[in-house]
Structure 1
């Protein structure tokens, strides 16, 4: 299923769903950030996805990282909340969503890195490499908030 992201676009379709989602900034021992190239739009993003009714938000981030990357992680902190109504995601099946997204930090505790059906590439990247990766600016904002090592989480 294809996915198109819009931001502050007057021609964006109107949302017909609200999805609670969680993602994680997973770092390795060298401080590199785990990124995935999404199969649905070809852009790089943090691993994450929608919350199930039986999940907690931290549990969602842990599950999504495991499903999308093969790695087991534990949550270590909070980057922020992201609820900007100007950000709209349209899917080829007709769903047009707004997301209530929470971004956590996480460390690897096991598993083996492997590509899932949701991505075409997985990579640990340095801050310099991040700047060259094509990604939606809302993903870059979340990574920038993490890299700023803020004393308090972003609330937006």
Structure 2
């Protein structure tokens, strides 16, 4: 199923669902950040996804990282909350969502890096490379906030 992301677009379809989601900025010992190239839109993104009824928000981030990258992680902090109503995601099955995303900091504690059904590539990327990767600006915003090493999480 393909997806299209809209931002501040007057021609975007109207949302018909609200999804609570979590993502994680996972780092390695060399200062690189774990990214995946999404199969549904070919853009690079942080691992993450929708919360299940049995999840906590941190648990959702841990589960999504495992499902999408094969890595086990431990949550170490909070990057921020991302709730901008100008960001709309439309799927080919007719769902048009607003997403409430909580982005965490995390570190690897196990697992083996692997591509999933949701990605075509997963790897640790040095921040200097971000500019050359096709990525939605809402993902870049989360990365920028992480790299700023803010004393307080972003609340938006």
TM range (shorter): over 0.9
Q: Quick one: distance in 2 between partners of 1:82 and 1:47? A: 15
Distance 1:75 1:133 in 2: 26
Counterpart in 1 of 2:129?
Answer: 129
CA shift at 1:152, angstroms? 0.4
Match of 1:88, SS?
Answer: strand
Query: Which residue is equivalent to 1:48?
Result: 48
Give, in angstroms, the shift of residue 132 of structure 1. Answer: 1.1
* SS state at 1:53 partner: coil
CA distance in 1, matches of 2:105, 2:130: 17
CA deviation after TM superposition for structure 1 residue 137, in Å: 0.4
* Counterpart position of 2:64: 64
2:145 aligned partner: 145
Matches within 5 A, 1:99-118: 99-118=99-118
What whole-Å deviation, never above 9, does each CA across 1:11-31 have from its counterpart, x for those lacking one?
A: 000000000000000001111
State the 1:43 CA deviation. 0.1
Quote how far apart the aligned CAs of 1:131 are: 1.6
**Cα distance between partner residues in 2 of 1:33 and 1:131:** 14
Equivalent residue for 1:38? 38
1 CA distance for matches of 2:17 and 2:41? 20
Whole-angstrom distance in 2 between the partners of 1:45 and 1:127: 13
Q: Over the residues paired in the alignment, what is the CA RMSD in angstroms?
A: 0.4
Give the whole-Å Cα distance in 1 for the aligned partners of 2:120 and 2:13. 27
Shift of 1:123: 1.2
Q: TM-score, normalised by structure 2?
A: 0.99
Give the paired residue count: 156
TM-superposition CA deviations, 1:57-90 (whole Å, max 9, x none): 0000000000000000000000000000000000
d(CA) in 1 for partners of 2:129 and 2:140? 12
2:66 equivalent to 1:89: no
Runs of 4+ in 1 over 6 A off after TM superposition: none
Deviations 1:32-53 (A, max 9, x none): 0000000000000000000000
